[in-house]
Structure 1
């Protein structure tokens, strides 16, 4: 992790691409639920504040990058001002930490309430108790760490974005709080990801469908990977030897970048199971059929064009060979005449003249002449 450097292009890309992606996915979730004529539940509504907080994180990253506060090396302070020099990445780090804490709490609650809505029928009473216990832990986790960060320096909120000297006055160690937050976040994400696996395996469906359902939840593993990366960065930052040689602004940038990526992946993952029902809608099926028909027509036309090109090349080679040899051309004309005559005789053999009808017509003519 020592060589990891999150540069401004990565920050600009993440800050501009993820917001529209998250907006589209959350909007598609509500559109799918409405098309299914299903009532919006708490798990649906909780994605809206989570989306607003993710957008706030993106705005913070873009603003800090525009001011050269993130993604750039630490400027060298003047001699004697190491403790009083301001830290711009620390300002963005604290803002994103508070925003991410709230966003992850809403996302985790939305995920657990989704499990409750889907699996509560036909399950034991213990299932509901476990759901409520996990929800209570999520609420305590969110409020606890949010206010621990917010009041780490009591009411001196300006200590967070002024200088290192003021941060050292805080009674609570922010690095230890951040480490506890990262460890508990990874543990809770693993619990939430593993929780539905036994319930899905108990469903009466084929193994292929079970694997497909579990694959939908697998996107949450990407959020866990981002959270684990952030944890590794924080652990490395607490290493005294690493901290002495590392660029602190780059380290803070790496941490806030993966905090943002984790929130984006988590928001998309919590909406993906609801979007799976969109494939069963008639309009979506018609759209998919239209695309498949269009691609099949394109492939057929390409195959036909290739076949016509190949046949044209064969005719050109034959014509060139006949033009070079006149005897072969006369022979080919004779052969073509013979072939046409043979085809005519074959047609006559396959389709003989209706002799019976000719006889019948002749007899009718003789009868008419005798009557006259």
Structure 2
């Protein structure tokens, strides 16, 4: 098994994730609602549930950025005086622990809404053509998700009762918590993986019974299994927690780096889950007028940039030609200049041969 405790997530990786993921998540949610509007389809509970999930992911982003900006995430643990590891209170470690506490709570809430959105999406597509047993299972799964989310959210929040500061002050205070923090985190990580497995497997038998070609069935299954990326992130999170708890007091483990790695994968899990849940709703989204307008806008912007660059080069050449022309002291233009002028002048020059048009033709037609 890989030793994730040896991974040191740098501030650059944290900043990159915090910049890229919000753009991706906001884009897929916007495209989801744009497609519903374009299809004149009803915006259902699965769509509304993704909105709080998106807001909570943005909250995770803010937490990640705040911790990194204060050099609490992505940096080694500050050196403490020997013998004070359990009792010492350090400002940077306090920020790191606060970031982890907030990230865990935001992650639980975000995953609850995102997974509920996925379940209600199943209900939308399988509402017709399935028996009542399947619909009952969907409601049971929804209830289990609610219990999982609410139960773990408040279990973590009130693990130390009303003494919330125990979480981020010192290890000694954490040991005073009436609830077992180790068991709570293990329960959260293991049950999260199990819920992901159930959600991923649930629709497969129903999809295989649909009247579709075999290739289309596998394509639909493939879309659902994009959520497996989120599942992998949750498994990694589980391994990190188990390894971190095992080496909690080991001298070789850097607490802040371990915490940073855990937060990093918490963030990726929520973002991958949100993106995967929205993708099945975006089939053919590139054909939407709004998306096409956005793509055309980018193309027009790049075209304007290219044209402006060409105009700039041309103006520089014209300016150089003008300066060279001003240096020439000629009394009359050359033959070449006359040819150029004739080429651009719409009417004959005064000294050139003239063509006179009379009304003779009109007179002939009139006399006829």
TM-score by length of 2: 0.75
Contact preservation (8 Å) 1:237, 1:243:
no
**Structure 2 Cα separation of the partners of residues 112 and 124 of structure 1:** 17
1:61 Cα deviation (Å)?
Answer: 0.5
Which of 141, 161, 171 aligns to 2:168? It is 161
Which sits farther off after the overlay, 172-181 or 144-153?
172-181
Corresponding residue for residue 84 of structure 1: 88
1:232 Cα deviation (Å)?
Answer: 0.6
**Structure 2 Cα separation of the partners of residues 15 and 214 of structure 1:** 30
Which sits farther off after the overlay, 162-171 or 146-155?
162-171
1:205 Cα deviation (Å)?
Answer: 1.0
Which sits farther off after the overlay, 190-199 or 172-181?
172-181
Root mean square deviation, CA, Å: 2.1
Larger Rg: 1
Structure 2 gaps, min length 5: 296-368
State yes or no: 1:273 paired with 2:280: yes
Corresponding residue for residue 233 of structure 1: 240
**Structure 1 Cα separation of the partners of residues 10 and 291 of structure 2:** 40
Contact preservation (8 Å) 2:80, 2:88:
no
Superimposed CA distance per residue, residues 93-147 of structure 1 (whole angstroms, 9 cap, x where no aligned partner): 0000000000000001000000001012010110011001100000000010000
**Structure 2 Cα separation of the partners of residues 285 and 63 of structure 1:** 36
State yes or no: 1:8 paired with 2:8: no
1:228 Cα deviation (Å)?
Answer: 0.4
Contact preservation (8 Å) 2:234, 2:266:
yes
Q: How does 1:54-73 map to 2 (within 5 A)?
A: 54-73=57-76
Contact preservation (8 Å) 1:120, 1:127:
no
1:91 Cα deviation (Å)?
Answer: 1.0
Superimposed CA distance per residue, residues 315-355 of structure 1 (whole angstroms, 9 cap, x where no aligned partner): xxxxxxxxxxxxxxxxxxxxxxxxxxxxxxxxxxxxxxxxx
Quickly say closer, same or farther: Cα 1:43–1:75, change in 2 above 3 A: same
**Structure 2 Cα separation of the partners of residues 59 and 284 of structure 1:** 28
1:20 Cα deviation (Å)?
Answer: 1.1
**Structure 2 Cα separation of the partners of residues 112 and 193 of structure 1:** 10
Contact preservation (8 Å) 2:247, 2:253:
no
Q: How does 1:124-203 map to 2 (within 5 A)?
A: 124-203=131-210
Corresponding residue for residue 54 of structure 2: 51
1:238 Cα deviation (Å)?
Answer: 2.2
1:78 Cα deviation (Å)?
Answer: 2.2
Contact preservation (8 Å) 1:77, 1:85:
no
Superimposed CA distance per residue, residues 136-195 of structure 1 (whole angstroms, 9 cap, x where no aligned partner): 000000010000011011001111122222111111122221111010000100110111
Compare the two structures and name the one with the higher helix fraction. Answer: 1
Corresponding residue for residue 95 of structure 1: 102
Corresponding residue for residue 212 of structure 1: 219
Structure 1 gaps, min length 5: 289-372
1:15 Cα deviation (Å)?
Answer: 0.9
**Structure 1 Cα separation of the partners of residues 162 and 125 of structure 2:** 44
**Structure 1 Cα separation of the partners of residues 288 and 61 of structure 2:** 33
Which of 215, 219, 223 aligns to 2:230? It is 223
**Structure 2 Cα separation of the partners of residues 172 and 283 of structure 1:** 51
Give the total of aligned pairs. 290
**Structure 1 Cα separation of the partners of residues 251 and 190 of structure 2:** 24
Corresponding residue for residue 256 of structure 2: 249
**Structure 2 Cα separation of the partners of residues 234 and 167 of structure 1:** 16
The 3-state SS of whatever aligns with 1:199 is helix
1:280 Cα deviation (Å)?
Answer: 6.0
**Structure 1 Cα separation of the partners of residues 11 and 46 of structure 2:** 35
**Structure 2 Cα separation of the partners of residues 242 and 188 of structure 1:** 31
Quickly say closer, same or farther: Cα 1:287–1:256, change in 2 above 3 A: closer
State yes or no: 1:264 paired with 2:286: no
The 3-state SS of whatever aligns with 2:283 is helix
